[in-house]
Amino acid sequence: MIKYFRLIVFLLSLIPLIIILMKIFFDNLGPEPIKEITNHTGNWTLLFLIFTLSMSPLKKITNINIWISFRRMLGLFAFFYASLHMLTYTGLDYRFDLTAISKDIITKKYIFAGFTAWFLLIPLALTSSKKMMILLKHNWKKLHRLIYLISILGVIHFIWLVKKDLTEPLIYLIIILVLLILRIRFNKNALLLFDNKRS
């Protein structure tokens, strides 16, 4: 059963990729194609980070465990779209012009935030397997808490690049903060429960 659900989530997660490939194929990207691809992959990275963060609260709210089994895949899709985003910027836009790119990373704070967020995703993607989970033991959890920092960096990246109208990035920020607060509260409750059991 879970297997089929996973397959469905996997296929659904491919939709943003299919949309952008269709747009490329049918030459439907509009006046500024590179920006269109950059924005598309950037937005979906943030959304997948949010999906990933939502699984644990969803499990607690609905009392259904299945959500957790999607988490790794969703996290890997966040990394996948983040990498496409990076490749669009470094490859398509800047033709791997390393001097221009490194200058951007140093001097433009939104690029710095975005680059850092992507960079921090790498160790999470590398240690996402069950094997690594067992190998790293309790360190795994600590390491993977980075996802909150990464999400916030991602939104800051968005806030800093917007020229004037902050509505969109602020919506992302609010959702991520709510998820973070939920997380802290659940943890507190769990701690309380744990304490009660001990006493």
Task: Provide, rounded to whole angstroms, the least separation between the CB of residue 20 and another protein.
Answer: 11
Q: Does 107 bind another protein (CB under 8 A)?
A: yes
Joined tokens for residue 61: 């709210």
100 binds another protein (CB under 8 A): yes
Out of 130, 137, 163, 198, the only residue in the binding site for another protein (CB under 8 A) is: 163
Stretch that binds another protein, among 9-17, 34-42, 141-149, 190-198 (CB under 8 A): 34-42
Interatomic CA distance for residues 199 and 187, integer angstroms: 18
Among 6, 59, 60, 108, contact with another protein (rule: CB under 8 A): 108
94 near another protein, judged by CB under 8 A:
yes
The correct pick among 56, 59, 93, 178 for binding another protein (CB under 8 A) is 93
112 to 59, 61, 105, 115, 116: CA distances (angstroms): 34, 36, 5, 5, 6
21 touching another protein, by CB under 8 A: no
Residue type, 107: T
Helix (H, G, I), strand (E, B) or coil at 1: coil
Nearest-approach distance from CB 90 to another protein, in angstroms: 12
170 scored as a contact of another protein (CB under 8 A): no
Q: How far apart are CA 82 and CA 90, in angstroms?
A: 12
First to last CA, the chain: 40
- Based on the shown chain and the rule CB under 8 A, indicate whether residue 33 belongs to the binding site for another protein: yes
CA distance 165 to 163: 7
27 versus 195: smaller Cβ distance to another protein: 27
CA-to-CA separations, 198 to 25, 95, 193, in angstroms, rounded: 61, 60, 9
